[in-house]
Amino acid sequence: MFCTHLHIDHTGWNTVLRDGRWVPTFPNAKYVFHKKEYAAWEAEHARGANPPGTVFPNNCLPIVEAGQALLVDDDYALDDTITLTPTPGHSPCHCCVNIFSRGQRAVVAGDLMHHAIQCREPDWSAKPDWDAKQSAVSRRKFFAEVADTDTLILPVHFPAPTVGLIKADGSAFDYRFKRDD
């Protein structure tokens, strides 16, 4: 299981409460966390800041303690079908997950963007962004890379039909929802 970042809406299913203790939901799974993302939240937790509330101690730390975490860097590749694109800003080391198959690419965008309007206005950041300026830089860079390609974007927080393509439009971008034909 890959977590694009370590916020509650992306890690809440990692663990379940059993006999008063948080344990991995899937005892045979590996949970993939970005190494520096984990380290940032570990440091916040150690100093008592815990901006994501109980996420770190309840949904991340138990995975590491159980030996089920795989802590990876930006260049991690599961194989030739699954790789990462670093898109920091929403969180310290937010990543998008690339899926390559049969000559096509799809990207699980995590929280790189929360709404299609962010394609038109890449500098508009969501309130929970760790670093709003970096988040905007990551969006612009990513949009420029995938614009006008057949890369399918799989946003996490968009309404159905969710999947779409990014098109360049001057200095902005358009999100085009892909509908079944």
pLDDT digits (tens, 9 = 90+) for 45-84: 898 876 656 889 999 999 999 999 999 999 999 999 999 9
pLDDT digits (tens, 9 = 90+) for 87-116: 999 999 999 999 999 999 999 999 999 999
Whether residue 1 lies inside any domain: the answer is: no
Q: Which amino acid is at 16?
A: V
Residue 40 structural domain: 8-72
Same domain, 123 and 96: yes
Query: Which is nearest to 135 in space by CA: 169, 109, 161, 158?
Result: 109
Same domain, 87 and 67: no
- Which helix (H) or strand (E) segment holds residue 6: the answer is none
Report pLDDT for 89.
Answer: 97
Residue 181 has pLDDT above 90, yes or no: no
Report pLDDT for 55.
Answer: 87
Distance between CA atoms of 143 and 122, rounded to whole angstroms?
A: 9
Q: Where are the alpha helices (DSSP H) in 29-176?
A: 35-46, 55, 61-65, 117-120, 132-146
Report pLDDT for 79.
Answer: 93
pTM value is: 0.92
Q: Are 143 and 135 in contact (CB under 8 A)?
A: no
Residue 124 sits in a domain whose CATH number is 3.60.15.10
Quote the radius of gyration of the chain (alpha carbons, Å): 17
Whether residue 170 lies inside any domain: the answer is: yes
CA distances from 62 to 14, 20, 24, 41, 177 (A): 9, 13, 7, 14, 38
Structural domain total, the chain: 2
Same domain, 129 and 167: yes
Whether residue 3 lies inside any domain: the answer is: no
Residue 180 has pLDDT above 80, yes or no: no
Q: Stretch 134-161: mean pLDDT, rounded?
A: 96
Whether residue 2 lies inside any domain: the answer is: no
Same domain, 170 and 96: yes
